[in-house]
Amino acid sequence: MLELMERLAAERLGESSAAAAATALETFDLRGIAKHIERGGVKNVVVMTGAGISVSAGIPDFRSERGLYARLGEYDLPYPQAIFELGYFREKPEAFYKLAKDLYPGLYAPTPTHYFIKLLHDRGLLRRCFTQNIDSLECATGLPKDKVVAAHGNFDSAKCLNGHDANIYEVERACRAGTPMTCAKCGEFVKPDIVFFGENLPRRFFECAQKDFEVCDLLIVIGTSLVVHPFAGLIERPKEHVPRLLINLERCGEAQNTRVTKLYRMAGLGRGTGFDFDEATNYRDALFLGQCDDGVAELCSMLGWKDDLDALIANCTIKKRLQASKISN
């Protein structure tokens, strides 16, 4: 089997290396990505985001030392993921409603990273933002809803555990109070349409992924540990010549360095493997390790977009409103 793959790899090598050479990064860092954008061929950027992009807004991520999953005492969970499990929700919906109270849209302002995504849209470069976050801060920047795929759902709609639609204004009141709500029809607990472990992702996730990665010419992944599937698998969907950038505090999503994955990478067989930052075979994966707000600011400076980013951030009306309400309290 490996011999056959090696032969195929050798045959495909000429073809794929030509495609890769056309888009290969000069350097595997922000500078390399900036140069790639400046060449002018980038028109369909796909952004993938996770909890890290909302940390500077004041929302903890999940798996960091001070993340939500480390605050078990505060949430009274038997084990971290229970907060997103149906079985536990059925028994003790209070933990999820406490999270809903802390996270409900309107309490936090978008971060510079959220505005970077808006800036990509304003420049006509954003194909889609796939987010795992349920805080809806992407759209709080003014980004149109159709540009966002809320892969793990959000608070825009809700149903009881028997599937009856719930009145969203009543759900909002319950979430803001942190008090579990029950269905008027059957008495079951009502759950905002957040995707719990074991539940299917919204159909739109799969539909958009199928179309978007056909045309994606740059993938930017920001603030996620890339451990939750199927979301994490999206990094393998861009075509094999398409550059990918990871902006994160830690490395993640890297391909296992086996003989088979090396062959796949060399030959461009199939779409993909995880990131390949260090290998001699890398031609398209760039890495910025650090705070995401710093990473996007640096990238914008390199592209001459920094004034535009700063203007978007300065005009953030939600931040002004939140600051004003803090002063008056």
Q: Which residues bind ligand OAD (CB under 6 A)?
A: 50-52, 55-56, 61-64, 67, 84, 132, 134, 152, 195, 223-225, 227-228, 248-250, 252, 291-292
SS3 130: strand
Indicate if 229 belongs to the active site.
no
Q: Is the distance from CB of 156 to CB of 77 less than 8 angstroms?
A: no
Is the N-terminal amide bond of 110 cis, ω within 30° of 0?
Answer: no
State the nearest-atom distance from the C-beta of 23 to ligand OAD, in Å: 26
State the nearest-atom distance from the C-beta of 83 to ligand OAD, in Å: 8
Nearer to ligand OAD, 25 or 195 (CB): 195
Is there a binding annotation on residue 30? no
Could you tell me how many residues make up the chain?
A: 329
Is there a binding annotation on residue 315? no
61: nearest Cα among 283, 315, 292, 256 = 292
Q: b or e along 26-51 (b: 16 or more beta carbons within 10 Å of the residue's beta carbon)?
A: eebbbebbbebbeeeebebbbbbbbb
175: nearest Cα among 158, 199, 162 = 158
285: nearest Cα among 215, 213, 216, 218 = 218
Instruction: Choose, from 36, 152, 229, 241, the residue flagged as catalytic.
Output: 152
Nearer to ligand OAD, 6 or 199 (CB): 199
Is there a binding annotation on residue 300? no
State the nearest-atom distance from the C-beta of 255 to ligand OAD, in Å: 17
State the nearest-atom distance from the C-beta of 161 to ligand OAD, in Å: 16
Is there a binding annotation on residue 129? no
Is there a binding annotation on residue 225? yes
Is there a binding annotation on residue 113? no
Nearer to ligand OAD, 152 or 241 (CB): 152
Cβ atoms within 10 Å, residue 281:
15
Nearer to ligand OAD, 249 or 322 (CB): 249
Nearer to ligand OAD, 152 or 265 (CB): 152
Q: Which DSSP symbol is given to 186?
A: T
State the nearest-atom distance from the C-beta of 281 to ligand OAD, in Å: 24
**Catalytic amino acids?**
152
Which segments are annotated as binding site for Zn(2+)?
160, 183, 186
* Residue stretches of the annotated binding site for NAD(+): 61-63, 132-135, 224-225, 248-250, 292
